[in-house]
Amino acid sequence: MKPLKGFLLLITSTLIFYVALRLLLIDCVELTVRDEYFGHGAIAIDDKAIRPFSLSVTEDELEELRDRLRKTIFADPVEEVNDFQDGVNPAFLKFFRDNWLHEYDWREEESMLNELDHYTTEIEGLRIHFIHQKPPRKKYNLTYPLVLIHGWPGSAMDFRKVVRMLTDPIGHGLQSGNSMAFEVVAPTIPGCGWSSPPKKQGFGMIAAARVFAKLLERLQIPRYLCHGSDSGFLVATSIAQMYPERVQGLHLSTAYVNVLLHPTQWIVYLINAFKETLLSEEDNSNTIFSTFRTTLQETGFINIQATKPDTIGVLLRDSPIGLAAYMLEKYSTWTNVSNRLLRDGGLFQNFDMTDLITQVMIYWLPGCIGSSMRIYKETIGQYDSFIYFATAVKSPTGITRFPNDPIRSPLSHLKCKYVNIVRSTKMARGGHFAALEEPKLCETVEERETNLHSEHSSDEELQQNDQRIDSNQGYAHYYLNRLDKVPNRTGARKAEVFVVADETELTQEPFPVENS
């Protein structure tokens, strides 16, 4: 019995110490914002000029890529394995390579991407690439600055299909009863896409938030709405924590809270971890990748990228098909974990071939896969991250929850951190990459007046106003949920909801794979 008593004493002491640390340290520490420098060499003064930018890939770069694709060596498949359960199906990968090599036209995609307004500027020694798209002059009475922050593996280009709709809904034949549009700023996290990689250690999600806040200050945008998806939700959240007076509304399409930082939720978490449906309400289920088995299957990348990003970075930088396999696996199972049972990973249910190849190209051409993964290492386990992750967010917050997104927390957990949730929206379908999965149509609708703008919305209020978007309405992605009394550029205040909807299904691509 002595070993058991000793073990229980150790566990009890650890819990007491942790709770004391949480209550005494976290709640008493004031968040700090400091300047740093991540450029090459000694600290230098930033070039604050904002310069137009356009994608311009040389023909030599494209030919070198084609040569690598032609010389790809594929892995031998295991007999009777023709789906994505063990990773990307080798037969599908060959099909993908052939389309990339013989059908895909980068020049067409490059031209389309360059139709957006791209810029660069230097902040903390880093070249920051961003899209800054404004509504047509004098066309809209109300303009709301909106910051869109991507996750991994992504870039500002993730929002390429919705930027025009957000900035000019009337021009796209969409409803806009109050003649309202968004001024969109979509920055690319340093180390991803065409933002330069940090040359020094320490650039995590918190640093990215600080850099983006400086970008908005340089653009002379004092107040704005902020949206975050995937790991971008951490960046968006951190901006709201740093500058709550600037972030007039926060919207998250991915929202996860580490329950270990909130002791009051431990019992609920443990109960639900053993039986997700123990509690009657769907939203109280424990859904961080849903089950322990799925966690083991789908989170290995976090361990790799948070510990040895340089090793895997070398491998993926040297092989375009290796890079594609690593990324396509995420687009498959993060859209719906059941996709791993399909021959094509369910990829063509939500994406088309061109979009998938373009996503890989945005990482291959700048050679950024290694630097993009390093942000995990510079975030997880860092003291600053610990403080920010445990600190409450007071900005008005809207949460959109997609049923097939494997990364999400129940509402009860979210309220421990996001203490002013004014809108919680359940979608009838959809997964992790909402902006890419369902970007087809947009419409603006005026939000009905509800009593949800109090500092702390009650459970009953949230439940009563928790909208479910049914599939018979067409897919509707609430890009911004309830954000009361948000000042726009002209100083007017109006509660609005922006809806992105998809009325059509994507066409299934042919995938001629013989059964093993």
Q: Are 248 and 216 in contact (CB under 8 A)?
A: no
Task: Give the DSSP H or E segment for 107.
Answer: helix 106-113
> CB neighbours of 368 closer than 8 A, spacing ≥ 6?
191, 192, 193, 197
What is the per-residue DSSP string for 81-101?
A: --SSTTSS-HHHHHHHHHHHH
Give the 3-state secondary structure of residue 110.
helix
DSSP string covering 196-248: PPPSSTT--HHHHHHHHHHHHHHTT--SEEEEE-TTHHHHHHHHHHH-TTTEE
Residue 124 and residue 468 in contact, taking contact as beta carbons nearer than 8 Å? no
Q: Can you spell out the DSSP letters for 283-298?
A: GGS--BSSSHHHHHHH
Q: Which residues are catalytic?
A: 230, 376, 432
β-sheet bridge partners, residue 128: 121
Sign of CA dihedral 385, 387, 391, 394: negative
Q: What's the half-sphere exposure (Cβ side, CA atoms, 13 Å) at 428?
A: 12
